[in-house]
């Protein structure tokens, strides 16, 4: 009786057989085994048989991974920008709404509103400090741009 063999010598510089692949899979980490189960043994054998094709396939995997990683980063950046934009839009909407409400008040209510706002000294002091910090920051940024422009010339 003739024995069926699954051993076939590869034409490349390695001597990996189907049995070597099968036994190697058993020694992999469970998470790697799950990934490898997506492949058929003969396909793995053919992949490992030709070193050039194997290297080409690995490069394709890296390129695919790079695309996914870049997509991941782009989506996170877009989400962050969209959130910041929604906050800016929300702030302007609140100011517009406050203006509309104020404009709809009677003259007596406008006076009462102003008196109430003026009684909140801490609010105005804080707002003033923030505005001044913003102006100082803008002046410093402008100075840096002017100095950089002079240095480039």
Instruction: With CA atoms as reference, report the closest residue to 10 among 40, 50, 41.
Output: 50
Mean pLDDT of 124-136: 79
Q: How far apart are CA 25 and CA 16, in angstroms?
A: 13
Based on the fold, state whether residues 107 and 88 are members of the same structural domain.
yes
Q: Is residue 101 part of a domain?
A: yes
Based on the fold, state whether residues 125 and 113 are members of the same structural domain.
no
Considering its fold, how many domains does the chain have in total? 2
CA dist 79 → 64, 69, 73, 83, 89 (Å): 22, 15, 10, 6, 15
Based on the fold, state whether residues 113 and 124 are members of the same structural domain.
no
Q: Is residue 107 part of a domain?
A: yes
pLDDT in tens, 104-116: 888 888 888 777 7
Residue bearing tokens 């790079």: 66
Q: How far apart are CA 54 and CA 42, in angstroms?
A: 14
Residues 125-133: contacts with CB within 8 Å, 24+ apart?
none
Confidence of residue 119 (pLDDT cuts 50, 70, 90): confident
Q: pTM surpassing 0.85?
A: no
- Sign for the CA dihedral angle at 116, 119, 120, 125 comes to positive
Given a contact cutoff of 8 angstroms between Cβ atoms, the answer to whether 36 and 28 are in contact is yes
Helix/strand/coil for 33:
helix
Which residues form the domain of 78?
A: 69-117
Q: Is residue 64 part of a domain?
A: no
Q: Is residue 62 part of a domain?
A: no
**pLDDT at residue number 151:** 53
């Amino acid at each position: 009786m003739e024995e069926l063999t699954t051993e076939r010598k590869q034409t490349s510089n390695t001597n990996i057989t189907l049995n070597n692949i099968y036994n190697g899979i058993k020694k992999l980490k469970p998470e790697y085994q799950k990934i490898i189960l997506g492949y058929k043994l003969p396909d793995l054998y053919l992949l490992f048989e030709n070193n050039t094709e194997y290297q080409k396939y690995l490069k394709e995997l890296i390129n695919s991974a790079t695309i996914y990683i870049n997509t991941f980063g782009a989506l996170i950046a877009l989400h962050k920008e969209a959130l910041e934009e929604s906050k800016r839009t929300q702030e302007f909407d609140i100011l517009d709404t406050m203006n509309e409400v104020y404009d709809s008040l009677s003259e007596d209510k406008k006076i009462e509103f102003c008196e109430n706002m003026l009684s909140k000294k801490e609010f105005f002091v804080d707002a003033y400090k923030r505005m001044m910090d913003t102006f100082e920051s803008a002046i410093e940024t402008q100075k840096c741009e002017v100095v950089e422009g002079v240095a480039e010339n």
